[in-house]
């Protein structure tokens, strides 16, 4: 049985049972002297309420109210009250004596009283129905949000599973190149790589890390890459007010990877990095020289960065990529508190 939508039998069962009890005590002046005739009168009165209520719930509301035809709904609502209030009056003045000839019934209410009773009753049931729909709508929205959150987490995990092997592949190639040269730098590079991999294995699997850890990762990577690069003009300028600010792990590394991959070909090349953090706003700018080819800089790392930003910082980031053919620049602005 589906429990995330309107259930007519349950809804109406509760409404009519409560209505019978409330009207029974409302129609009886002395609660201690309730007799058979009171039960019978209340039962038939409730039965006269059923048609206008069902007509309102399952015809007027779906066809008029939910489609935004408010004027027509109000007119139909009022007409519904008038017609069935008159039917109630006619029922108790003419028809009920034929159904139950052994009892003598009179209408307890004037025409105005009946209009008021029907108006109040239909209004209350309408509000109950709208409240029920609001409850189920909120429940469905919460379920959708939870599903979207789980989907985003799965997508982010997929992006990271692609990013980590991508980084590791590049790093191992670097160590392999140093080892072929029988270079003492290979030993230092392995130690630095172990520190980086420790971050990748442990910290990168958490939702957020401190800026301090992310900056240390970038510094280790810079030192790691400079074991073999010919580029002398590498500048990393950092100015962060609060290094305990939280950021998605390994978010900035792909940009640094791309800079070395495409911009570290000769001694005349350069890589300039500026990192600013103030009041929860992070600004990261990286510029590097490179030689324009058929496939420009960026590649897989930049694509995965864009996917991660959309998942973790939706509408809270601004990414600009500028490619002049000889200089590749990426500007990233993130609201870390968003």
11-20, 162-171, 186-195, 220-229: lowest mean pLDDT where? 162-171
The answer on pLDDT for 198 being more than 50 is: yes
- For the stretch 294-315, pLDDT in tens is 554 456 667 778 888 888 888 8
Q: What is the mean pLDDT of residues 10-33?
A: 78
Q: Which of 260, 166, 174 minimizes the C-alpha distance to 204?
A: 166
Looking at the chain, how many residues does it have? 338
pLDDT of residue 237: 94
Token pair recorded at residue 94: 């003419």
- For the stretch 45-90, pLDDT in tens is 889 999 999 999 889 988 998 888 999 999 999 999 999 998 888 8
Question: What's the whole-number average pLDDT of the chain?
Answer: 80
- Which comes out higher in pLDDT, residue 309 or 187? 309
Q: What is the mean pLDDT of residues 153-182?
A: 67
Query: pTM of this prediction?
Result: 0.52
The torsion region of residue 250 among left (phi > 0), alpha (psi -120 to 50) and beta comes to left
Which burial class, exposed, middle or buried, applies to 67 when counting CB atoms under 10 A from its CB (0-12, 13-18, 19+)? exposed
pLDDT of residue 301: 67
- For the stretch 90-118, pLDDT in tens is 887 777 767 777 666 666 677 888 898 89
pLDDT of residue 104: 62
The answer on pLDDT for 183 being more than 50 is: yes
The answer on pLDDT for 232 being more than 70 is: yes
pLDDT of residue 78: 94
Q: Which of 174, 270, 190, 274 minimizes the C-alpha distance to 230?
A: 270
Q: What is the mean pLDDT of residues 204-225?
A: 85
């Amino acid at each position: 049985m589906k429990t995330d939508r309107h259930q007519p039998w349950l809804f109406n069962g509760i409404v009519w049972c409560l209505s019978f009890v409330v009207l029974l005590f409302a129609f009886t002046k002395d609660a201690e002297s309730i007799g058979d005739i009171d039960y019978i009168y209340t039962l038939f009165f409730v039965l006269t309420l059923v048609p206008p209520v069902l007509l309102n719930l399952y015809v007027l509301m779906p066809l008029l109210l939910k489609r935004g035809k408010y004027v027509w709904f109000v007119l139909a609502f009022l007409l519904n009250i008038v017609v069935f209030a008159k039917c109630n009056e006619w029922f108790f003045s003419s028809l009920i004596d034929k159904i139950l000839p052994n009892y003598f019934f009179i209408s307890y209410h004037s025409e105005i009283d009946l209009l008021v009773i029907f108006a109040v009753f239909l209004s209350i049931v309408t509000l109950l129905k709208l409240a029920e729909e609001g409850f189920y709508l909120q429940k469905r929205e919460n379920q959708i949000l939870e599903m979207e959150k789980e989907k985003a987490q799965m997508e982010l995990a997929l992006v990271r599973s692609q990013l980590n092997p991508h980084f590791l592949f590049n790093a191992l190639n670097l160590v392999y190149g140093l080892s072929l040269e029988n270079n003492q730098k290979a030993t230092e590079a392995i130690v630095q790589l172990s520190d980086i991999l420790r971050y990748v294995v442990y910290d990168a699997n958490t939702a957020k890390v401190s800026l301090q850890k992310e900056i240390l990762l970038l510094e280790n990577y810079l030192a790691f890459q400079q074991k073999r690069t010919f580029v002398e003009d590498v500048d990393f300028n950092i100015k962060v007010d609060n290094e305990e600010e939280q950021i998605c792990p390994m978010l900035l590394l792909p940009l640094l990877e791309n800079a070395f991959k495409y911009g570290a070909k000769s001694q005349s090349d350069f890589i300039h990095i500026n990192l600013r953090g103030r009041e929860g706003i992070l600004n990261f700018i990286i510029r590097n020289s490179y030689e324009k080819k058929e496939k420009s800089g960026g590649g897989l790392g930049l694509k995965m960065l864009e996917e991660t930003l959309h998942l973790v910082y939706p509408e809270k980031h601004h990414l600009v990529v500028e490619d002049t053919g000889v200089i590749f620049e990426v500007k990233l602005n993130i609201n870390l508190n968003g």
